Amino acid sequence: MTTNLYREIQQFYDASSQLWEDVWGEHMHHGYYGAEGNQKKNRSQAQIDLIEELLKWAQVQQSLKILDVGCGIGGSSLYLAQKFNASATGITLSPVQARRATERAKSALSITQFQVADALNMPFPDASFDLVWSLESGEHMPDKRKFLQECYRVLQPGGTFIMATWCHRSLTPPHGQLTSDERRHLADIYRVYCLPYVISLPEYEDIAHQVSFQNIRTADWSQAVAPFWDDVINSSFNVRAIVGLLLSGWTTIQAALSLGLMSRGYQRGLIKFGLLCATKG
């Protein structure tokens, strides 16, 4: 199953990354629209603001060696490397993304490298990085515990782990279990975006404790990022985006037609944008 899932993820991003860059830019992640989600701003600025707000929230002011897990076409990797004058390594399952990120890095004044690698079996020695950054990649991981174990392993003692990931709502009392309708909604999101499953933020926190992370903090920024999906939907109605979709293949077309799944998921409180930061002792 993992092999098939990885192939689906690779093919999805191989097919869609060029279109995303052409229409929406280098950052393949949510934007930040203020704590209440009511700030009007350019989508690209909102995406940069998300990076800055995550660093501020996690109290990261400097870093020397950065790992970007699920790097896309290198948006966060290059931004962080330039901001901190650091070296950054990005990994992705998509050869197309790794090649494009490498191309973009050639014109950037930073030390960056990108490669195709499995986040559950990273090709790095223990304690290789002082910042492990995972911005919207955890939802793709078929083994959440193994993912956090690997992030812990490659992190230097005293280093910081920052994760922002798609979650479903908390299942702790009095919220109860997911309803049949909620499970169907999630299944549609899994199918369209090549996800094995998502879990709640409290479950991620429990795993982080089990893996031995310290100074664990979590936050729910769903309200702050939810406007992003409506922004993307509205910007899709132009000739450039439509032509790009037609050329990119059915999987990308299906994902574009299903953007409303995420927007509605936030509206009903089912989808959550969960944050977790922690350190290695």
Characterize 145-162 residue by residue with b for buried, 16 or more Cβ atoms within 10 angstroms of its Cβ, and e for exposed: bebbbbbbbbbbeebbbb
Q: What is the dihedral of CA 192, 166, 43, 75, to 10 degrees?
A: -90
Tokens describing residue 103: 């191309």
pLDDT in tens, 178-206: 999 999 999 999 998 999 999 999 999 99
Tell whether pTM > 0.75.
yes
pLDDT given at position 2: 80
pLDDT in tens, 162-175: 999 999 999 988 77
**Confidence band for 252, pLDDT divided at 50, 70 and 90:** low
* CATH number 3.40.50.150 is the correct assignment for the domain at 2-279: yes
pLDDT given at position 238: 58
Contacting residues for 102 by C-beta, under 8 A, at least 6 apart: 74, 113, 114
Is the N-terminal amide bond of 196 cis, ω within 30° of 0?
no
Contact indicator for 88, 68 with CB cutoff of 8 Å = yes
Average pLDDT over residues 246-261: 63
**All structural domains of the chain with their residue ranges:** 2-279
